[in-house]
Each structure stands twice: as structure tokens, then as C-alpha cells.
Amino acid sequence: MFLIKSRIILGVIVLLTLCFSASADTMFPRALFVSVLQDPQVLSSEAEMDQLIDFSKRARIKILFVQIYRSNQAWFPSKVADPSPYERCFKSLGQDPVALLITKAHAQGIEVHAWLNLLSLSANKDANFIKKYGNEVLTRNSHRKRTFEDYKIDNQYFLEPGDPRVREDLAKIVKEIVGTYNDLDGIQFDYIRYPDVKPQYGYTEINMERFKKGTGIKRIDEKDLRWKDWKRDQVTDLLRLLVKTARAAHPGIHVSATGCMPYSRAYHEAFQDWSSWLDRGLVEFVTMMNYSDDPAEFAKLNEGMRTRVTDFKKVKIAVGAYKFLKAPELFLEEFRSCEQTGNTCAVFHYGSLLDNHLLADIVAAP
């Protein structure tokens, strides 16, 4: 029964892919996220790099968003973040993994953008940020914290964007990356937001003191629009600093950020005003994480994005392949819907394509 069902799904995918290919009269731009969470890691093996580049060439991938900073760990030489992942990859390869991947990608006309998870430490309670500053740099709600675990939000520790120490060290990390890789094409800032799970954060001593001093308001009310605007400004100000840092070290580098979907969630819960980032030219483009597993909702969210920005072409749309490991026919529907917008479609992520070859076949279809 399983074999019959698999063959039916494969037949549907082949038919739909052929129909899509036959009707497509343009070559769509494409991007691909490459995560350090997949096994084996691309950055730990030259053979894996070659496989990635070969696939990207066949699939007409023009941009690789390569994760090189996550949970305060570095896959590049760093004195600020924990460099142990970089050291392991260097030992395995005998050379800098990011530099090698950039060389291989450029040989095939493919761009490499460093993908950084900034304000999330994941579940890494041994992060350098925590060792250096303790829990004071972790954003928090107003509830009493009895244990360190109480600071977790959605199973992650989140840094406070309004803390000057957080900003300073993240800027140093960006400077390290851009200064190390002069031929890096771009840098994408991910997790540049407040947590949007029960969005009542920002209650660190430093952040509250800065708010009171800056506004003259003595008592913080969660419903006060001035408090909400303050938190939104902290996220934008952090992004502005990181963009300035990157461009000062490498004036020609492409700078982008990721955005939450839908816009109401981003603006009111994550305090992330990505539409203004685009309209004011703070970043060149925003990659929208549209991870709905319902193709109809996926298309509706994309249309909603179109109304929020002056130039929709500055939006790249991330399609969550990881959501469709058992439903490749739905991934095909969303991938097709994404490409019909005419915008760059960014597949999230490469490891999911390796986990189910049918997903990879959809992306690489001629």
C-alpha cells in the first residue's frame, strides 16, 4: 500500500512539474538556505560542498544563505562568539570552510550570503553572552524568575535588543565576519526581533531604565503604545547598527534581514517593522518566512505582503520545505505559487531536500 501511494504521489508530482515547466516562459531567480543543523554539515565536508554546488547549479539557485552563526556559536574565526564549530570544520577540511565554499560557489556564478541567527541563543545556556553577562542580557517578561530555565521562551533564550552590551557584541561579530571574508556577497540578519510568543518582553533592568530616561515616563504599562513603539525602535536601532557596521567594513556587500509573517504578527508581537526597513532603504531586501503548510493561505500571505511595501521586488519569499517531508505534492503547489509571483523564492532548507529526494526533484526540475 505504501509503495502504491508513493508511486501515485510521484506521478502527480511529475505531471504537475511538467505542466509548470511547459508553461513557464521565464527563468525565476532562486535562493536556498543551508543550515548547520543538517547531518552531515555542508561546512564540514568538501564532498558535501561539491554536492551542494552541483545541486544549486542544476536547480538554478543564484543565492546560498549559509548559516555561519547560530546560538552564539561561530563557523568562522571569532574572538567574541564560541569558535569551536569553526575549529572542528577547519580540522576536518584543513582550511577555512566558509572561504572554501565561497570559492566553489563563485566558480559557478553563485552568490554566498552569511546567514546569522542573532538574538536567539537557542537552548545554549553555556553561550559566551551568558558567561560574560549572566541572565541580565536575556529579555524577559515581568513574571518572577526562580530558575535560569524560567528565562526560556519557546525553548530558546532570547537576547534583549535594547541592551547596549548585546548590540556592541553583535556588531563585533558582524565586523569579524565581513572583515574575514572580503569576497562574501551578502549578509542576512535573522532573528532580529522580540519573541512573539505571548509578546510581553523587554523587562530587563537596563531596557526599562533606558525607556524611562528617554521618555520621561515613570511607570511602564504593557498596553502603552509608547512602550510598544520603544521596543520596536530597539529592534530597528539594532538592525541599523549592524547594517552600518557591515557596510563600513565592506561598502559593496548586500545587506538583508528576515521577516515574520504575517505583518500584523511581525509589527505587534515581534516588534519588527520590516516594511519600513524596506521603504526607508535600511536593507536591500527582506526574506519573508512564509511557512504556512496550507497552499491557499501561503498565496494569501504573499498577496498581503505586496500591499505592505512600495517595491514588492525587494521581497524574497521563503518556502518551508521542511513542512512537506511527507507531502511533496503540497510543496510543489507552494513552490509553483511562489515562483508565479516573479520574486526570488528561497527554499528553507537544503537539509530537507536531502531528506526527501522528491522535494529536491521539484526544485531542480528543468
Cα gap 62→344, rounded to integer Å: 9
Helices (H), the chain: 2-23, 46-58, 84-93, 97-107, 128-133, 164-180, 205-215, 225-249, 263-268, 274-279, 295-306, 328-339, 350-355, 357-364
Q: Which residues are bridge partners to 120 per DSSP? A: 158
**Amino acid at site 337:** S
- Do 76 and 177 meet the contact criterion of CB atoms below 8 Å apart? yes
Do the bridges between strand 111-117 and strand 73-74 make them parallel or antiparallel, or are there none, so unpaired? Answer: unpaired
Instruction: Set out the domains of the chain in order of their start, with CATH numbers.
Output: 28-118+164-195+225-364 (3.20.20.80)
Cα gap 137→157, rounded to integer Å: 10
In tens digits, the chain (366 residues) has pLDDT values of: 444 445 445 554 554 454 454 344 446 789 999 999 998 899 999 999 999 999 999 999 999 999 999 999 999 999 999 999 999 999 999 999 999 999 999 999 999 999 999 999 999 999 999 999 999 999 999 999 999 999 999 999 999 999 999 999 999 999 999 999 999 999 999 999 999 888 899 999 999 999 999 999 999 999 999 999 999 999 999 999 999 999 999 999 999 999 999 999 999 999 999 999 999 999 999 999 999 999 999 999 999 999 999 999 999 999 999 999 999 999 999 999 999 999 999 999 999 999 999 999 999 998
Distances (CA, A) of 152 to 82, 123, 138, 164: 20, 8, 9, 21
What's the gap between Cα 71 and its chain centre? 13
Provide long-range contacts, Cβ within 8 A and 24+ apart, for 44-48: 44/88, 44/89, 44/92, 44/93, 44/97, 45/92, 45/93, 46/93, 46/100
DSSP state of 82: B
> What phi, psi does 110 have (nearest 5°)?
-110, 135
Give the 3-state secondary structure of residue 61: strand
256-290 per-residue burial string, b: 16 or more CB within 10 A, e: under 16: bbbbbbbbeebbebbbbbbbebbeeebbebbbbbb
**Amino acid at site 206:** I
Distances (CA, A) of 117 to 66, 70, 105, 337: 11, 5, 22, 27
